[in-house]
A and B are shown apart, each in its own frame.
Chain A
Amino acid sequence: MNRKIFIWLISPTLLFLLVIQIYPSLYSWYLSFGKIKGGVYTFVGLKNFVRLLNNSDFYESLGRTGVFTIAFLAACIGIGLIVALLLSRCTRFTGIYMTIIFIPMVLSEVVSGTMWRWMFQQSFGLVQAFLNPFINNVSILSKPWGAMAVVIAASVWKQLAFTALLFLGALQTVPKELFESAAIDGATRSEMFWKITWVIIRPTVLLASIMTTIRGINALGLILATTQGGPGASTMTEAVLLYRTAWQFGRFGDAAALSVMMFLINITLGAVYIRLMKDH
């Protein structure tokens, strides 16, 4: 392929990205250095950033984002791996299982959030009613830890199929002969997993982790549909805080500053992951 063809191939994409992503982001960046009132923009320099860094909400939301993302990541990867392993050992019904497990992924966040909120509704929620005898009638969604747990569960529920599928694909690339020779050498099942399977699927795990982490940090729709950031601020992650600042309070300058910070965090994590991938 020569240079000319390549340029033709990527120009439309680059054009789109320039107009739809780059330009608005730059405008956003510009907004982060100012304040908008009555439609008029005034430049305030770094004031928005200073105020943001002095705001307890910013740090608390950061903490909640951390909790959410780590739990989300661990569950998606861990449970996804387990499901993939189970599926790879199946000979029959694999298609049916995979289809059912994938259904949550085709649902929207709005619909999923509503479903989960309905399940845990204090008076009419089926799951809440089922759990009531065990937890002394405590309404799960009205407790900070409860709301966070539900939000994490709903997000994992929705995303699980994706990681499971990625892992299943990776598992299929593990050559059976390796297991045979390992068995001959007397290896245990767990040794065979860690020394053979894990080594081969590790790059996929890493890729899945990157994608899941970014999803987790930017997760917004599901949280809004389930708890709206509540009760209080207990499920207000950075993404929810950003949404509130821009949308509910109409403070676009501050919201832009927050999104710059979030972008920096995302980029840093991305760089960390890439470094991890390179090392391998």
Chain B
Amino acid sequence: MKKVFVFMVLGFLLIMPVLMFAAGESEEPETMGPVTVWSEVNIKAPQTNLDEDFAKAVVGIEDAIGTELIIATTPYKEISAKVNLAVQAGGDVPDVAQLKVSKLAFHVDNGTLMDITDYVEASPWYDGMDKAALDAGRGPDGKIYAVPFNTRSTLTYSYTAAFPDGPPMTTDDVLAAGPGLKAKGLFTITGKASEQQGVQVWWWPLIRTFGGHFADSEGNVAWANDATVKAIEFTREIIAKGYAPEVILSPGFDDEIPFMNGDVGAFNAGSWSYVWLNPLTTPSGVKYDNKSASVEEAIKAGDLVLSPQISAPGSKPVTPLDGILWAIPVGAENVKGAEAFIDFMMQTKVNTDVAYAWGGVPTIEEGKNDPRYSDSVYWSKVTEFMSDYAEAMEPVANYDEATLKFADIAIDLIHSPDKDIMSVLKQAQDEINAK
């Protein structure tokens, strides 16, 4: 036993120098230090298609910007929260952060992003940029707080094996197709109806097409209306009757799996979904296994059909317009480096590669002429739907909280059919707006 004690003391003596050494590593960097980017990609050890495509797109970046590039891989859901914490508590602020358009209001409201209007307007890529897309990076005061590098929206994927007469267009179509598909052992539709993203891609379009709004022009939530009630009733019905798998209410992305396995006829997808949706198996058993090209091949073979987002009967479809941006947080150390990074990323070829990797349309106009977009059956349809039906969601400052709360109560209402929808909506709405 004494030996253990001696061993422990020796161990401690050995560890101390390491400790000293490690603690000393956080000294001030020299002038043009490395550029730190918080993004969800992992280019050192690519794990997914996104990682690989992004890694290919940024080959040569360190030579171009003249300094080291450090990408701190952060889970996509946490980047906003971490940036906010870093700025509010005065901590380790990255030079560049990858954010979503839907969170911009949150960041502007909390004052976490730098006003980069002057930099953007003087940059070499400004003229070639899609100005309408650039607006997605503006705050309510018109100043530019972030640079969008792609725009994304939603649509519906349908297997022709399940819908030989054409894809479902409205909620009534879904309800009508339900019994028949159920008899064949298939669900009718799947999609993500949980968490923040579920609100954007499932609930909001339903609410809009049923004639309502999620929030008002002041940024207060206004979901206590008839349209929302109808949206919830519809979702309740398709789950209760077995037309949609329960997993659409679960966190994560398990809702995609039944579609990938050919157990569902239609999928409420994002323009980015094809990046992740493989291998693909149709209800008739045909298999596509070619990474992100699977969806394109299925469309060309006639097994998969694209249609706009499901809407309420009699209404024009609405699809949420979102996108991903590069932003420079307040307090970033290496602003020059950050700008060099963004300049590199906004070169036409790089912007196109990266926009494509993330499943969206490039924001540099010329990028849209790239064969991957112009020659693609998939993207021609997506851009068509985008220009006809896309609408940005009403900006909500406490986006995460409001959407999470809504998703929670919606799911709760679906599981408890006896609760009165309107009163639950109203109560939650008041609570959120009281903040």
Interface residues of A, Cβ cutoff 8 Å to B: 36-39, 51, 54-57, 121-124, 138-139, 141-144, 227-234, 236, 244, 247-252, 254
Residue with the greatest number of chain B CB neighbours at <10 A, chosen from A124, A144, A254: A144
Q: A55 to chain B: which residues have CB within 8 Å? A: 431
Closest residue of B by beta carbon distance from A235: B251
Q: Is B435 an interface residue (CB 8 A)?
A: yes
A232 and B81 form a contact (CB under 8 A): no
Q: How far is the CA of A233 from the CA of B401 in the complex (A)?
A: 12
Q: Contacts A142-B250, A143-B415, A233-B412 hold; do A39 and B111 have CB atoms under 8 A apart?
A: yes
- What is the chain B residue whose CB lies nearest that of A245? B401
A138-B435 in contact given A39-B88, A122-B254, A247-B85 (Cβ < 8 Å): no
B404 and A248 within 8 A (CB): yes
Interface majority SS (helix, strand, loop, mixed), chain A = loop
Complex CA–CA separation, A208 to B247 (angstroms): 38
Expressed in whole angstroms, the Cα–Cα distance for A123 and B260 within the complex equals: 11
Q: Which of B251, B257, B408 has the most chain A CB atoms inside 10 A of its CB?
A: B251
Is B110 touching A139 in the complex (CB atoms < 8 A)?
Answer: no
Contacts of B435 in A (CB 8 A): 51, 251, 254
Secondary structure class of chain B's binding surface, majority of residues = helix
Measured CB to CB, the closest approach of chain A to B89, in angstroms, equals: 8
Determine the distance from Cα of A265 to Cα of B435 in the docked complex, in whole angstroms: 24
| A39, B254: Cα distance in complex, Å | 38
Given contacts A55-B431, A248-B81, contact A139 B111 (CB under 8 A): no
Give a binary string over B246-262; 1 marks a CB under 8 Å from any A CB, 0 the rest.
11011110100110010
Measured CB to CB, the nearest residue on chain A to B251 is: A230
Contact across chains for B404 and A244 when beta carbons are under 8 A apart: yes
| Of A232, A236, A251, the contact of B194 (CB 8 Å cutoff) | A232
Is B297 in contact with chain A by the CB < 8 A criterion? no
B88 x A250 contact (CB < 8 A): yes
CB of B434 within 8 A of chain A?
A: yes
With A122-B247, A144-B415 already in contact, the answer to whether A249 and B398 are too (CB < 8 A) is: yes
B120 interface residue per 8 A CB criterion = no
- Residues B72-89 near A (CB distance < 8 A): 77, 81, 84-85, 87-89
B88 touches A122 (CB 8 A): no
Shortest distance in angstroms between A129's beta carbon and chain B's nearest beta carbon? Answer: 13
Whether B412 lies near A232 (C-beta < 8 A) is yes
From the candidates B194, B251, B257, B428, name the one contacting A122 in the complex (CB within 8 A): B257
Chain B contacts of A142 at CB under 8 A? 246-247, 249-250
Inter-chain contacts of A144 with B (CB < 8 A): 412, 415
B90 at the A interface (CB under 8 A)? yes
13 CB-based A-B contacts, threshold 8 Å: A54-B431, A139-B245, A142-B249, A230-B194, A231-B251, A232-B407, A232-B412, A234-B411, A248-B401, A248-B404, A251-B398, A251-B401, A252-B88
